Amino acid sequence: MYDTNYHRASSIDEAVNIMAAAAEGKYLSGGMTLIPTMKQRLAAPSDLVDLRHIAEMKGIAVDGRSVRIGAASTHEEVATSAALAAVCPAICRLAAHIGDPHVRHMGTIGGSIANNDPAADYPAAMLALDAVIVTDRREISAGDFFTGLFETALEDGEIITAVRFEAPARAAYQKFPNPASRYAMTGVFVVRRDDGGVRVAVTGAGSDGVFRHPGLEAALAANWSPDAVANVMVDATDLLSDLHASAAYRANLVKVMTKRAVAAA
Amino acid sequence: MAKITMTVNGRQVSGLCDDRTLLVHFIRENLGLTGTHVGCDTTQCGACVVDMDGQSVKSCSILAVQAAGSSITTIEGLSANGELHPVQAAFKAHHGLQCGFCTPGMVMTAVDMIRRHGSNLDEATVRAELEGNICRCTGYHNIVQAILAAAAEMGGARHAAE
């Protein structure tokens, strides 16, 4: 690891100010991606601004169907929140299958979303749930937030402080993990609203990151059943192709994971 | 350079280290507690697992400065009064190790697993939760048996105490 300067912020304002003064700073949340990346010398921030001790970024609040998850909430906290499980168990189950127990004790929802790894699980949930990403300066809808591979709408120095969404009538997430890395080779989050509206978001498969699939959404809005997926065409053109799976294989996984998710929702 | 203070195995310790020093290196090199191992360079093997403020973490993927002010338990802190911790005793009784390199991380992981699941722990859960710990000797079978036996014994002990 290259040399770096560590700062521990106790408030969002303090974190923003430290970052503004840093040459090439990075925010550090759980660090479950950033520290391993720095160990490999693939990242070399001049300064790290630790967000783990900022009280205003913690906590999960559920008011009726309205959910607010503080950005510094760990995957373990999301996975085991009884309040969240009562209105949206799908996001608890998603969090319970990120990484391994030790990673879940450190990694946070805000960190995962800010990193926007194309195989990460949370971006699919945010997009399917039509979540609002709350930052220190504005609110961004998930549809506008994820802009490409590891790219987001965040500006320099902007901090995700929380995410908000309305719990849907039904939701589920299913992923096909890579047998070695356990990252999603394809993961699908399905949501059905009380008014019958359906959103289907896919992670791990898109060559430009997480995406919605209008064909699957239309088919499931007309008929909320695993069988409705059978005749939907999933185009492999813009899907990832690598040593783990071809684009055609991933296109099929999109359908299979969607079927399983609808069956589980 | 940072001067940091934390509690390790119940003792307050201080030391000087670079900001980039990993917690595992601080534990091994500054404190001389070499039971916590480094088995990979990629955050995958789990040989470095310690308890930080009541939860298992990979000490190879946390900076020592991040852990400043926290309370750490390493494998050296488990046994008390010369008696093995029940999880350590179960690994011994069930031959849950061969070369022993991964064992400190396996034992710390098992302690955390039992903390969260108690005697409700079943084999499928144990196997799923060992995802972040790699053993290249045993094929995991005896590790799983040891963890289940320890969970049963510790759960039973807890019931007896209630």
Do B129 and A50 lie within an 8 Å CB cutoff? no
Alpha helices in chain A (DSSP H): 12-21, 34-39, 75-79, 82-87, 89-96, 101-106, 109-115, 122-128, 142-145, 214-222, 247-264
What pLDDT does residue B5 have? 98
β-pair type (A66-70, A60-63)? antiparallel
Backbone angles phi, psi at B15, to 5 degrees: -170, 160
CATH number of A5-50: 3.30.43.10
Answer whether residue A76 shows pLDDT above 50: yes
Strand pairing category for A132-135 and A170-177: unpaired
**ipTM of the complex as predicted:** 0.95
pLDDT band at B156 (very low <50, low <70, confident <90, very high): low
CATH classification of B86-161, choosing from 3.40.190.10, 3.30.360.10, 1.10.150.120, 3.40.1550.10? Answer: 1.10.150.120
**Which superfamily is assigned to B2-77 in CATH?**
Beta-grasp domain (3.10.20.30)
Q: Give me the residue spans of the domains in chain B.
A: 2-77, 86-161
Is the pLDDT at B72 greater than 50? The verdict is yes
Q: Determine which of A158-167, B59-68, B151-160 has the lowest per-residue pLDDT on average.
A: B151-160
From A120-124, A198-202, B157-161, the region with the lowest mean pLDDT: B157-161
Q: Is the pLDDT of residue A142 over 70?
A: yes
Which residues from chain A sit within 8 angstroms of residue B52, using beta carbons?
105
**Do the chains contact at B113 and A101, CB–CB below 8 Å?**
yes
Cβ contact, residue pair B66, A3, below 8 Å: no
| Closest-CA residue of chain B to A1 | B20
The whole-number average pLDDT for the span A193-213 is 97
Give the residue on B whose Cα is nearest the Cα of A47. Answer: B19
pLDDT higher than threshold 60 for residue B161: no
